């Protein structure tokens, strides 16, 4: 199913109109005269928005996967094969004569069978390189050459590359033609085929090799069955293999060149979820607008993005929420030379749109100053990771969260656990208005995660008891759940101390949050004792504020059950405690006039 959907994508986007050629990164173009002399080496790189030199994609003869040994590519190679010199990272120069010989042999064969004059000029040039010393070969390389970069060839004055010449193209097509009788049926198309012995590599898979990784690979006898060897165990014909690999490379490449518009790129179709996981996505249908919106909502959502789920573009196509076209999402990780499929999700565009809207509704949470109201999925995952770093996001967690979004199911319990753990480790909210805004934002994102987890748990139950309420975006005075009230009470006691002892380092909010949210019966008696001292000091300095704080504490206490406080709170109750604390804390930062939130900056408490 996965390979079939990828092959369909490759055909729909015209990625395999000419399967013998593919767009590849080119760093340098070796220009030759018609008599085989070096006219110059042109820098094909372009500066990106960050001022870094990036290779340009050219349509070159399709390369074959080169796992080990010597194997030359046709008219698209590295310095090892073009100049017979390899530049190590240490700067050491090493002659690799077998690589140079393999490249020359391929050029000789192509020239002999095609008779193309440009290949003759290239053959003459390669013979001159063969006669050079190591120093002479190095002197031919560009000054900016750093090793590991790719070369292709052109006759000076021509518009295209040597590989673009008709005779050269015809020879390459005939050279790649599969010989032999079909021995199996292709698992993708069902047609008789000669199984591909070695599948091409997939680039840009997070966590994978810097070169490429394989999606289909049998490299040990333990994986083989019925006497079949290596990739014969998953028989795929060359046409289907090249199509699915090219589709995956296109999905993972943020700037894949359009096969129909010169200089244009196909829309981005991947989002990085962590240091070693990414999701690729696409839709099958005439509109093809939802995948663009899906990319925006996962990576850089804006306040109007969710609204567009319900409105149709002015093209006569249905709104995403009404579109019944197929939608696919594939989560990948890399490692040990092969790609790992973390998850594979299929649904209609309408189902995906509705579930995305529900997901962003779950995240809605009032906040006392400006942050991204609809954060990206990577931002949310970073907020619950150690030190907020992508390297600490589990690929299994990332794929499970995305699955929950697209299936409208509860988030994995490990997400709630990670968010609560970070609240205890870093504090639920910074206690000082001088704290960096990034820390405030990360704390807010954690609360959004906890709220979304709580709402989805409640939805999954279907029926709730009389005391259970849906978690709202802001303070809910009518919520009488014990854990929620305890969170509000803890916030009120912590604020009382901050008012009585402004500027204190290490408040009860910093010191006791973890214990109060886990074992309230052991902690709150001490907090009440400390609060009496804080209120006494506040009555001397700011009597009006003291009355307000004492009144709030008494109101919350009156809603708690008369029995003893619970000795232990479950993980779900700890999440509700965190939301209660956050709601009450946020309420302290609201303006006196009308209760509107502060517009920007970390606000002064009221």
Over residues 206-225, the pLDDT tens digits come to 987 777 888 988 877 887 88
- In a domain, residue 83? The reply is yes
For residue 440, the model assigns a pLDDT of 65
Q: What is the pLDDT of residues 318-330, one digit of tens each?
A: 788 888 899 999 9
| pLDDT > 80? residue 148 | yes
**Which tens digits make up the pLDDT trace of 424-451?**
988 887 655 445 555 667 888 999 999 9
pLDDT greater than 80 at residue 506: no
Residue 464 confidence (pLDDT)? 46
Look at residue 253 and tell me if it is in a domain: no
Task: State the pLDDT at residue 598.
Answer: 35
pLDDT of residue 228: 82
Residue 288 lies in a domain: no
DSSP class per residue in 467-516: T--PPPSS--TT---HHHHHHHHHHHHHHHHHHHSTT-SS-HHHHHHHHH
Average pLDDT, the chain: 87
Residue 317 lies in a domain: no
Q: For the ranges 269-283, 330-344, 429-443, which has the lowest average pLDDT?
A: 429-443
From 244, 275, 294, the end of a domain falls on 244
Overall average pLDDT of the 349-366 stretch: 91
Q: Is residue 270 part of a domain?
A: no
Q: 573, 415 in Cβ contact below 8 A?
A: no
Q: Categorize the per-residue pLDDT at 591 as very low, low, confident or very high, splitting at 50, 70 and 90.
A: very low
Mean pLDDT of the region 139-160: 91
| Mean pLDDT, residues 101-106 | 96
Domain for residue 13, yes or no? yes
Of residues 268, 396, 253, 245, the one with CA closest to residue 332: 396
pLDDT number for residue 493: 93
Q: Answer yes or no: is pLDDT of 593 > 50.
A: no
Q: So what's the pLDDT on residue 368? A: 63
573 falls within a domain: yes
Token pair 């704290």 is at which residue? 435
Q: Is pLDDT larger for residue 468 or for residue 594?
A: 468
Contact 393, 275 (CB under 8 A): yes
**Using CA of residue 16, residue 20, residue 25, residue 31, what is the dihedral sign?**
negative
* Percent of the chain scoring above 90 in pLDDT: 53
- Return the structure tokens found at 276: 């070693």
Out of 221, 244, 267, pick the residue that ends a domain.
Answer: 244
Domain assignment of residue 334, yes or no = no
The domain total for the chain is 2
Sign of CA pseudo-dihedral 199, 205, 208, 212: positive
Q: Longest C-alpha distance within the chain, in Å?
A: 101
pTM: 0.86
CB 39 within 8 A of CB 276: no
**pLDDT for the residue numbered 69:** 81
Range of the domain at 163: 2-244
Of 209, 244, 279, the residue at which a domain comes to its end is 244
Is 465 within 8 Å of 476 (Cβ atoms)?
no
């Amino acid at each position: 199913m996965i390979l079939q959907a990828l092959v369909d994508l490759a055909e729909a986007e015209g990625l395999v109109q000419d399967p013998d050629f593919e767009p590849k990164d080119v760093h340098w173009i070796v220009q030759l005269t018609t008599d085989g002399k070096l006219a110059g080496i042109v820098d094909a790189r372009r500066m990106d928005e960050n001022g870094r030199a990036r290779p340009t994609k050219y349509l070159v003869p399709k390369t074959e996967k080169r796992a080990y040994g010597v194997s030359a590519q046709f008219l698209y190679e590295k310095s090892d094969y073009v100049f017979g010199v390899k530049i190590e990272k240490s700067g050491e120069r090493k002659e690799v004569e077998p690589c140079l010989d393999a490249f020359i042999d391929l050029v000789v064969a192509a020239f002999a069978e095609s008779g193309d004059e440009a290949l003759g000029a290239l053959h003459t040039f390669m013979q001159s390189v063969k006669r050079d010393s190591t120093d002479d070969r190095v002197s031919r390389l560009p000054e900016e050459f750093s090793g590991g970069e790719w070369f292709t060839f052109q006759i000076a004055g021509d518009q295209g590359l040597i590989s673009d010449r008709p005779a050269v193209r015809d020879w390459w097509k005939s050279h790649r033609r599969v010989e032999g009788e079909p021995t199996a049926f292709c698992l993708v198309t069902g047609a008789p085929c000669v199984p591909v012995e070695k599948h091409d590599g997939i680039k840009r898979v997070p966590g994978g090799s810097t070169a490429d990784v394989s999606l289909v690979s049998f490299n040990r006898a333990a994986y083989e069955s019925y006497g079949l060897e290596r990739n014969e165990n998953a028989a795929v014909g060359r046409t289907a293999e090249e199509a699915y690999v090219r589709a995956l490379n296109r999905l993972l490449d943020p700037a894949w060149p359009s096969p129909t518009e010169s200089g244009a790129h196909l829309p981005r179709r991947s989002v990085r979820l962590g240091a070693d996981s990414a999701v690729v996505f696409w839709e099958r249908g005439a509109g093809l607008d939802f995948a663009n919106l899906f990319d925006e909502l996962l990576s850089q959502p804006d306040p109007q993005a969710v609204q567009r789920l319900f409105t149709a573009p002015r093209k006569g196509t249905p709104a995403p929420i009404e579109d019944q076209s197929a939608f696919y999402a594939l989560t990948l990780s890399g490692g040990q030379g092969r790609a790992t499929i973390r998850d594979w999700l299929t649904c209609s565009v309408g189902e995906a749109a509705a579930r995305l809207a529900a997901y962003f509704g779950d995240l809605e949470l009032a906040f006392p100053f400006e942050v991204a109201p609809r954060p990206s999925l990577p931002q949310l995952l970073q907020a619950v990771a150690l030190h907020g770093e992508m390297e600490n996001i589990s690929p299994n967690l990332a794929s499970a969260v995305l699955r929950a979004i697209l299936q409208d199911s509860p988030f994995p319990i490990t997400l709630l656990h990670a968010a609560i753990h970070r609240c205890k480790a870093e504090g639920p909210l910074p206690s000082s208005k001088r704290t960096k805004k990034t820390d405030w934002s990360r704390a807010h994102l954690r609360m959004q995660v906890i709220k979304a987890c709580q709402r989805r748990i409640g939805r999954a139950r279907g029926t709730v008891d009389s005391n259970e309420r849906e978690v709202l975006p802001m303070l809910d005075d009518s919520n009488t759940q014990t854990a929620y009230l305890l969170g509000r009470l803890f916030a009120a006691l912590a604020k009382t101390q901050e008012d009585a002892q402004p500027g204190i380092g290490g408040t009860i909010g910093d010191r006791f949050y973890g214990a109060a949210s886990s074992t309230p019966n052991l902690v709150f008696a001490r907090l009440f004792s400390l609060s009496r001292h804080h209120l006494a000091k506040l009555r001397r300095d700011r009597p009006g504020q003291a009355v307000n704080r004492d009144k709030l504490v008494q109101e919350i206490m009156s809603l708690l059950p008369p029995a003893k406080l619970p000795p232990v709170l479950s993980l779900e109750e700890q999440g509700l405690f965190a939301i209660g604390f956050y709601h009450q804390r946020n309420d302290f930062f609201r303006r006196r006039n009308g209760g509107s939130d502060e517009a920007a900056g970390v606000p002064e408490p009221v």
